[in-house]
Amino acid sequence: MSASSSSSEEATGSGADALNNDPARLAHKLHRRLACDPSKAMPIAAHYKATRAMARVQELLREQRTLAPSHTLLTALSCAGVAVVRRIGIAHEQDVAADLQTTLSLLLVLIVLATGDATVPAEYADHPDAYDADGEERAAACGDYASCISSYESDSLSAVLEAAATACSTNADWGAVVNAPPEPEDVCRAILWIISYRGRSFDLAAIWSLSVLFFRLSAAATATSLFESVAPGSFVSMSVGQALQDAHRDERLAAIVSAAESEAGQTVLRDLQLSFLLPRSVVGVRRAVLLPRATNAIITKDHAAVLNAAHESALRGAEWEWAHSTSPIVRMCALLAGLAVLVSKTGDIRKEDAFAGHVALPFLETLPPQSGVPRLALIEARGDWVCWRQRAGRQADIDVLVRRPGYEGLFDAVLVFSSVLNRG
C-alpha cells in the first residue's frame, strides 16, 4: 500500500470518527434523512439510518451532560421533528405511521436531553444544586406549565382572532390583551419543562401527544420568525396595492363567496366554522378541507350545540351569511369556503389537499404548491393573515405581498391572493 493511499484512508477514517462523535453533525445528517420528499413514501433505509444516528446522538448527549446546549444541534433536531410531524399529517399510505410516531417522540426526548434541565432557572445554570432543594418551587411551577399546555389545547382559533381584533382596535400590544391565548413559544417551553420535570414517569404515548404539539408549534414559530424578518407588522407591497384600492372590492369578495353556493360548499362552510370555533384538541390536523369521520363523531357527541349552529349556518348558505351575518367568524368562513372551491384542482374537495395546498392553517397539513404561486397563511401567534410567495428555486427566500391583522386582514389577503393568482 502506498503512502498516499494510507494517508487518504487515515483522513477518511478520522473524518468518519469526527462525524460519529459530533452530535450537531449527526443531527444534521439525520435531518437530511428524515426530510425527504413528503409526496413520496419515506425509504425504509433512510428511516433506519436516521434512527441509528439518533441512537448515537443520545449516547453522546449522555456522555456530555456538562456541556452547554448547542444551538446548531437543537435547530437540526427541531427541523427533523418538523419534517416527521408534517409527514405524519400528510399520511402517505405507504409510510408506517407507528414507526414515524415513535421516531417523533424520541426526537423530542433528544431535544430535552440536549436542552439540559429545563426546570432550573438561567441564573442557577452554574450551580443547579442550589436551586429548590426541597422541590417545592418546581412542584408549584409544574401546575402553571401544565395549565399553559391545557389552555392552548382547549382554546379555539376564534379566540386568537378575537384577541387580534381587540389588539388592533385598541392599539394594544398582544401581551396587554386580556385573556389572550398562550403563545406557541410559551407552550413549547412548557412542554420541555414538563418532560424534564417528570422524566421517567412519562410513557411513550404521553410523549407522543406532546411531541406532535411541540413540533407543530416549532414550525409555526419558525414561520412567524421568517415573516417577521421580511415584513414585521402590518404591511402591503407596492406591487399589489392596487388590488386593495379597487372600487369593486366588495363585489370581488362576494364573487369568491358565491363559489361556495353548492352542496359541497355548504359542507366546507360548516366544517370550517367547526374548525375555528372548537378546541384545538378536538379539531386536530387533517389534509382535506373536510373534517374526518372520527372527528365528526366526537363533535356530534360532545359539541352538539356548536355543530347544530354551524349546520344551520351552512343551510342558509355562504352568500346569505356573507350578506347578513353579524359574526366575523361566520363571514370569514364563508369567504374561505368560496376560496376552497375556487382553487380546487379536481373538484373533489373531499379527497384532495385543502385549498390545493395554497392556504396554511393550524388544522391543515398539505403538500405545498409549486414555487412562485401565491399562498395564504394565518400567523397564529399574532392573528395576522399573510399573502406571500416563495421565490422560484430559493427555498428560504419569500416575498410577502400583504400582512394584516384580524378578520379584515383575511379579506385583504384574499383579495391580493386572487389578484396575483389570476394574473398568473
Contact 256, 338 (CB under 8 A): yes
Nearest to 358 by CA among 347, 345, 50: 345
Q: Which of 152-161, 179-188, 250-259, 274-283 has the lowest mean pLDDT?
A: 179-188
More confident call, 275 vs 240: 275
Q: Is residue 97 part of a domain?
A: yes
Asked whether the predicted pLDDT for residue 306 surpasses 60, the reply is yes
Q: Which three cell numbers stand for residue 121?
A: 432557572
281-312 as b/e: b if 16+ CB within 10 A: ebbbbbbbbbbeeebeeebeeebeebbebbee
Domain assignment present for residue 104? The answer is yes
pLDDT in tens, 343-377: 998 878 888 999 999 999 999 999 988 888 899 99
* Contact partners, residue 127, CB within 8 Å, separation at least 6: none
Looking at residue 309, its amino acid is A
Give pTM, 2 decimals: 0.89
CA distance 246 to 414: 13
Report how many domains make up the chain.
Answer: 1
Q: What pLDDT, on a 0 to 100 scale, did the predictor assign at position 9?
A: 46
Tell me, yes or no, whether 93 lies in a domain.
Answer: yes
- What is the C-alpha to C-alpha distance for residues 411 and 250, in angstroms, rounded to an integer? 10
Rounded distance between C-alpha atoms, residue 86 and residue 135, angstroms: 38
| Share above pLDDT 90 across residues of the chain, in percent, rounded to a whole number | 52
Residue 49 lies in a domain: yes
Q: Domain of residue 40: give its range.
A: 20-116
**Residue 102 within any structural domain of the chain:** yes
> What is the rounded distance in angstroms from the CA atom of residue 162 to the CA atom of residue 184?
17
pLDDT, tens digit (0-9, with 9 covering 90-100), for 308-348: 999 999 999 999 999 999 999 999 999 999 999 999 988 78
Confidence of residue 11 (pLDDT cuts 50, 70, 90): very low
Is 176 part of any domain?
no
Q: Is residue 69 part of a domain?
A: yes
pLDDT category of residue 385 using cuts at 50, 70 and 90: very high
pLDDT, one tens digit per residue, over 207-232 is: 999 999 999 999 999 998 889 888 88
Give CA separation, 420 vs 220, 225, 281, 351, 401, in Å.
25, 24, 35, 26, 9
What backbone torsions phi and psi does residue 400 show, to the nearest 5 degrees? Answer: -90, 125
27 within domain boundaries: yes
Q: Does the pLDDT of residue 206 top 60, yes or no?
A: yes
Q: What is the pLDDT of residues 53-103, one digit of tens each?
A: 999 999 999 887 656 678 899 999 999 999 999 999 988 766 678 889 999
Percent of the chain at pLDDT exceeding 70: 89
